[in-house]
Structures are given as structure tokens and as C-alpha cells.
């Protein structure tokens, strides 16, 4: 394309307005094209630069006007405007039609403003910004995944869907999760019942409030059962001739305490899912129709599923689910004659955020169940004082408390010699020690490292999670 010099004055004024003269980033706006050399010009999109040639030219042309537009300001000065990302060639001729030079013009997105905004938002991050064709390439090492996401989000504002991420995340990116399940169950039950019986000749009668007639009949017939089923029972009786009177009092109090503790530990890379199961699987029949029964397996035990994300420095975002389940032995549910187990489960699913080494109580449950039952012989049980002989009472209370505590740590690999195993402190005995000395384990000479330090310790008393 050829532009005549009669518009040079107008274009010179336009170039002074459009071209960013005075900006430190464009200190090389003025280029000198030397004869016989192939120069290269870098022009930002929608920006202009002014190029000056040492030799006067008579004609110039651009290979692709859609990438860059040119105009002459004089016989030595050229105005170059970047229109679209790409590479094209500027050719210059003298008055005799001889080639003066070819200039390689590369038009790329304007990233000067993006670099400035990046330095303001992330001042201490060594992020390098480059252009590639019509996109932006980010490289370097950032301190956290959260800052990486901010840099990418900002780059998308300047080059939507044309951002190449070559950045790395520094620091520790592996998380170890320590979960503690602690549960206490307490139960108290009290029963008090009374039965009154009398007999004379072949006739026997009586009053009972809790189905103790069989036991009372055995007492009246002087028949002591082989298996005593009436725990806490006291029998009173007297007779006058053929008349026998017996009073059976039963009082029973039961107490129970259950303590359970589970502490699974699991490590995972930031952003990756980790799963843990300590328990088993139970086959469950599932009818499919037409007499076909399929088998599905249901897992039970201590289950842990979590996805850690290191968001900034030592700040950890944790999405997790945890459950403790056991088989309910009291269930009698059946399908097609097959006994199907039921499960007792404590499950939680949540998302939390915490620092390295901090703990969080993510779930807790306090449950208090109370039941009482009073049964009596009508009217007779309402008689003052003596009515207690015709009345029975039951009382039951169950309390449970559950808490789940989570602790997150940033971890890094170590040498295997520094890790201790539970098997390091227990060695199989020799035949002589087993049969002659009666030892079930033997002690080996301690070496070096964490494993040997554990083996040196005296475990004569209780240790670990062994509970009496």
C-alpha cells in the first residue's frame, strides 16, 4: 500500500496524540531503520510508533494491512499502527525501485497496563508476563494457589480465554489430616416389681404385675429352678394349714459404660481427594424382581474422605466427610428369609478453614434418652403402702456424647529411617525363649534412628491405646 506525502502533516499531528511518548515503557518509540539490514519492530495492539529511516525512500508497502497499518509522515519517517496480533513485513524502496530493507513487524497484545496492575495486586510475587500470538503467557513461582488464581483471573480480563499458565506453586502443598472420634455411652436401668401368690389344697392363685406367675408357682411348689432367671429376687412366704402365701419381690439395677476412640491419620496433595476406611464390608441382598436377588456390599467402620486445598501460605481449606458405623446386633430385619443387618452410624460432612497445626471440633452430639414405666393391678395398686405389693416400676436412662476433632498439618516427605513402626518394638521370640523361658517377644539390640529410639523404651506398663 502507498501513501502520499501530502497527508504527512496531518498524520504527524495524529501520531503525537496517539503514540505514548513520555511513557517509560515506550522509551524506544523512535526507531532508525538502517540500509541493508532487516530490523524488527514490536508494536502493541491499538498503539502506534514512529519509525525513521537513514535513507530517503520513495515507496513503502505492508504485507498484511489487517495486522499493521502504515503511513508516511515524510520521505524518512513512517507511522506504524498495530491493529491485530500477528507478524507481517514492511518493505521500503528508493526512487529507482531498488529495495532498501525489509522490516519485521510483530504486533502483540498490550500488556504494560496488565503488568502494572499485577505489581499492584501481587507486589511480592515474581510473575513473568510474556505475549504469545494473541494471548498472554504467565510464568514464575507463586507462594500459594490462591495468588495463582488471582493472577489468572486478572489476566483473563486482558486476554479472555487466551491465557497460558506456566506458573508453579511454591511452599508445602501436602496436608496430613488427623481426625479424632471420641464417644461415651452411659446407661442406667432400674426395675422394681412385686408378685403375691396364695394356694390352698389344689387351688393356686395370685396377683402379679410383670408376668412373674411362673416363678411364683415354682416357689409355691417348693421347686427351685435349675437356672435362676429372677436376678435380685427375694421370696417371702408363710403357711397356715393347707393355705400357703408367698410374696416375691424383684429389684434390679443395671449400669453400663462404653468408651470408643478412633484416630485415623491421612495425607494428601493439595486439591486431591483422599479416602480412608478401617472396618469391613457386609453383603446385603437386594431383590431385583422375578426371584433374582443381587448382592451389594455396605462398608462399615471408621471412614474418612477429604479434599485439602492450601489457599494462602499455611492456610488450609478443608472439605471433608467422616463417619463411624457399626453393625446393630439387635436388628432382626429380613428380606426373602435372609437376615439383613442394620447399622448404627454417626456421620458428618462439612467444609472448614484453618491454619497449619490448628484444630477444629467439626461435630458434636449429646443425647439423653429417658424412659419409665409403671404397671399395677387395677385398684389394688392405688391402695396406700400395701399398693406397692401390686405395683411394678421400670426406669431406664441412656446418655451418649460424641465429638469429632480435626487437626491439619502441612507436611513434607522424610527419609524412611526417621519413621518408627509399631512392629519395631515387638520381635518374634526364639524357640528357646518361647518354650523354656516363656517369653512371647524378644528384645533386639537397638540401632540408630527413630525406630531404634522407640525400641529402646521400656513398655512394661500400659502404652498406646490399650485400655484396661
Is residue 395 domain-resident?
no
Lookup: cell for 448 = 540408630
Exposed, middle or buried by CB within 10 Å (0-12, 13-18, 19+), for 157?
Answer: exposed
Does residue 116 carry a pLDDT above 70?
Answer: yes
Tell how far CA 395 is from the center of its chain. Answer: 43
Is residue 398 domain-resident?
no
Q: How many residues does the chain have?
A: 468
Q: Examine the domain organization and report whether 97 and 125 are in the same domain.
A: no
Cα separation of 293 and 33, whole Å? Answer: 86
* CA-based torsion, 48, 50, 55, 58: positive or negative: positive
pLDDT in tens, 192-209: 877 767 666 554 444 444
Is residue 376 domain-resident?
no
pLDDT at site 208: 46
Q: Tell me what the mean pLDDT of segment 98-108 comes to.
A: 84
Cα separation of 54 and 445, whole Å? Answer: 88
Query: pLDDT band at 147, cuts 50/70/90?
Result: confident
pLDDT at site 6: 35
pLDDT in tens, 361-389: 888 888 888 898 888 878 877 788 777 77
Residue 134, CA atoms < 13 Å, CB-side half-sphere? 10
pLDDT at site 443: 63
Residue that terminates a domain, selected from 236, 252, 268: 252
Q: Examine the domain organization and report whether 95 and 150 are in the same domain.
A: no
pLDDT at site 457: 58
pLDDT at site 240: 73
Lookup: cell for 461 = 506398663
Cα separation of 182 and 174, whole Å? Answer: 26
When the pLDDT of each residue in the chain is averaged and rounded to a whole number, the result is 76
The C-alpha angle with vertex 24 and arms to 65 and 7, in degrees rounded to 5, equals 40
Is residue 303 domain-resident?
no
Q: Examine the domain organization and report whether 152 and 163 are in the same domain.
A: yes
Domain count for the chain: 4
Residue that terminates a domain, selected from 90, 108, 126: 108
Q: How far apart are the first and last CA of the chain?
A: 96
Q: Examine the domain organization and report whether 55 and 87 are in the same domain.
A: yes
DSSP 329: T
Starting at the edge strand that comes first in sequence, how are the strands of the sheet with 163-169 ordered?
127-132, 135-142, 163-169
The residue among 33 and 435 whose pLDDT is bigger is 435
Query: pLDDT band at 113, cuts 50/70/90?
Result: confident
Q: Examine the domain organization and report whether 96 and 116 are in the same domain.
A: no
pLDDT at site 377: 77
Residue 406, classed as helix, strand or coil, is strand
pLDDT at site 313: 72
Share of the chain above pLDDT 90, in %: 4
Q: Tell me what the mean pLDDT of segment 210-225 comes to.
A: 46
The C-alpha angle with vertex 397 and arms to 394 and 400, in degrees rounded to 5, equals 160
pLDDT in tens, 41-88: 888 888 888 888 888 888 888 888 888 888 888 888 888 888 888 888
Lookup: cell for 222 = 417348693
Residue 150, classed as helix, strand or coil, is helix
Is residue 198 domain-resident?
yes
pLDDT at site 394: 86
Q: Enumerate residues 6+ apart whose C-beta is below 8 A from 207.
A: 195, 196, 197, 377, 380, 389, 390
Share of the chain above pLDDT 70, in %: 77
Is residue 65 domain-resident?
yes
Cα separation of 216 and 206, whole Å? Answer: 9
The residue among 17 and 82 whose pLDDT is bigger is 82
Q: Tell me what the mean pLDDT of segment 83-110 comes to.
A: 84
Query: pLDDT band at 350, cuts 50/70/90?
Result: very high
For the entire predicted model, the pTM comes to 0.56
Is residue 290 domain-resident?
no
Is residue 422 domain-resident?
yes
Closest CA to 271 of 244, 306, 237, 242: 306
Q: Tell me what the mean pLDDT of segment 418-441 comes to.
A: 80
Query: pLDDT band at 255, cuts 50/70/90?
Result: confident
The residue range of the domain holding 424 is 415-467
Query: pLDDT band at 441, cuts 50/70/90?
Result: confident
Given a contact cutoff of 8 angstroms between Cβ atoms, the answer to whether 441 and 460 are in contact is: no
Lookup: cell for 212 = 412373674
Lookup: cell for 82 = 498495530
pLDDT at site 222: 46
Q: Examine the domain organization and report whether 237 and 190 are in the same domain.
A: yes
Query: pLDDT band at 453, cuts 50/70/90?
Result: low
The residue among 343 and 216 whose pLDDT is bigger is 343
Residue that terminates a domain, selected from 169, 200, 216: 169
Query: pLDDT band at 451, cuts 50/70/90?
Result: low
The residue among 298 and 11 whose pLDDT is bigger is 298
pLDDT in tens, 289-348: 777 878 888 888 888 899 998 887 778 889 999 888 888 877 777 776 777 888 888 888
Ramachandran angles phi, psi of 460, nearest 5°: -70, -30
Does residue 27 carry a pLDDT above 70?
Answer: no
Q: Examine the domain organization and report whether 67 and 127 are in the same domain.
A: no
Q: Which residues pair with 307 in a beta bridge?
A: 319
pLDDT at site 226: 42
Extract the runs of DSSP E, i.e. beta strands, from 241-291.
243-262, 265-269, 274-289
Amino acid at each position: 500500500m502507498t501513501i502520499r506525502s501530502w497527508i504527512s502533516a496531518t498524520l504527524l499531528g495524529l501520531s503525537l496524540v496517539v503514540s505514548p511518548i513520555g511513557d517509560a515503557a515506550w522509551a524506544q518509540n523512535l526507531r532508525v531503520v538502517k540500509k541493508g539490514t532487516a530490523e524488527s519492530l514490536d508494536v502493541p495492539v491499538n498503539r502506534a510508533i514512529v519509525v525513521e529511516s537513514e535513507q530517503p525512500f520513495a515507496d513503502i508497502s505492508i504485507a498484511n494491512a489487517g495486522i499493521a497499518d502504515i503511513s508516511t509522515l515524510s520521505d524518512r519517517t513512517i507511522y506504524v499502527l498495530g491493529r491485530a496480533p500477528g507478524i507481517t513485513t514492511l518493505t521500503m524502496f528508493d526512487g529507482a525501485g531498488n529495495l532498501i530493507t525489509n522490516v519485521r513487524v510483530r504486533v502483540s497484545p498490550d500488556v504494560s497496563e496488565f503488568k502494572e496492575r499485577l505489581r499492584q495486586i501481587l507486589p511480592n510475587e515474581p510473575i513473568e508476563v510474556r505475549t504469545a500470538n494473541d494471548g498472554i503467557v504467565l510464568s514464575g513461582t507463586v507462594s500459594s494457589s490462591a495468588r495463582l488464581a488471582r493472577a489468572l483471573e486478572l489476566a483473563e480480563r486482558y486476554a479472555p480465554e487466551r491465557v497460558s499458565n506456566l506458573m508453579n506453586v511454591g511452599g508445602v502443598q501436602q496436608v496430613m489430616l488427623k481426625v479424632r472420634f471420641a464417644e461415651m455411652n452411659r446407661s442406667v436401668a432400674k426395675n422394681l416389681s412385686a408378685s403375691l401368690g396364695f394356694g390352698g389344697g389344689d387351688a393356686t392363685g395370685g396377683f402379679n404385675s410383670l408376668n412373674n406367675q411362673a416363678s411364683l408357682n415354682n416357689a409355691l411348689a417348693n421347686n427351685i429352678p435349675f437356672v435362676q432367671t429372677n436376678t435380685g429376687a427375694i421370696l417371702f412366704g408363710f403357711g397356715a394349714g393347707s393355705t400357703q402365701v408367698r410374696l416375691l419381690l424383684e429389684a434390679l439395677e443395671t449400669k453400663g459404660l462404653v468408651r470408643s476412640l478412633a484416630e485415623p491419620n491421612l495425607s494428601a496433595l493439595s486439591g486431591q481427594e483422599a479416602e480412608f476406611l478401617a472396618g469391613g464390608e457386609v453383603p446385603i441382598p437386594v431383590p431385583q424382581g422375578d426371584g433374582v436377588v443381587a448382592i451389594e456390599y455396605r462398608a462399615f467402620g471408621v471412614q474418612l474422605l477429604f479434599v485439602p486445598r492450601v489457599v494462602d501460605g499455611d492456610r488450609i481449606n478443608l472439605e471433608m466427610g467422616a463417619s463411624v458405623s457399626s453393625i446393630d446386633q439387635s436388628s432382626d430385619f429380613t428380606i426373602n428369609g435372609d437376615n439383613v443387618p442394620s447399622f448404627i452410624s454417626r456421620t458428618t460432612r462439612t467444609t472448614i478453614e484453618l491454619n497449619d497445626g490448628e484444630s477444629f471440633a467439626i461435630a458434636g452430639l449429646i443425647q439423653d434418652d429417658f424412659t419409665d414405666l409403671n404397671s399395677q393391678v387395677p385398684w389394688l395398686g392405688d391402695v396406700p403402702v400395701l399398693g406397692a405389693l401390686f405395683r411394678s416400676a421400670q426406669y431406664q436412662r441412656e446418655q451418649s456424647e460424641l465429638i469429632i476433632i480435626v487437626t491439619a498439618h502441612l507436611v513434607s516427605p522424610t527419609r524412611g529411617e526417621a519413621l518408627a513402626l509399631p512392629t519395631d518394638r515387638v520381635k518374634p521370640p526364639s524357640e528357646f525363649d518361647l518354650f523354656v523361658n516363656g517369653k512371647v517377644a524378644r528384645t533386639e539390640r537397638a540401632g540408630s534412628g527413630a525406630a531404634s529410639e522407640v525400641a529402646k523404651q521400656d513398655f512394661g506398663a500400659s502404652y498406646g491405646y490399650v485400655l484396661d
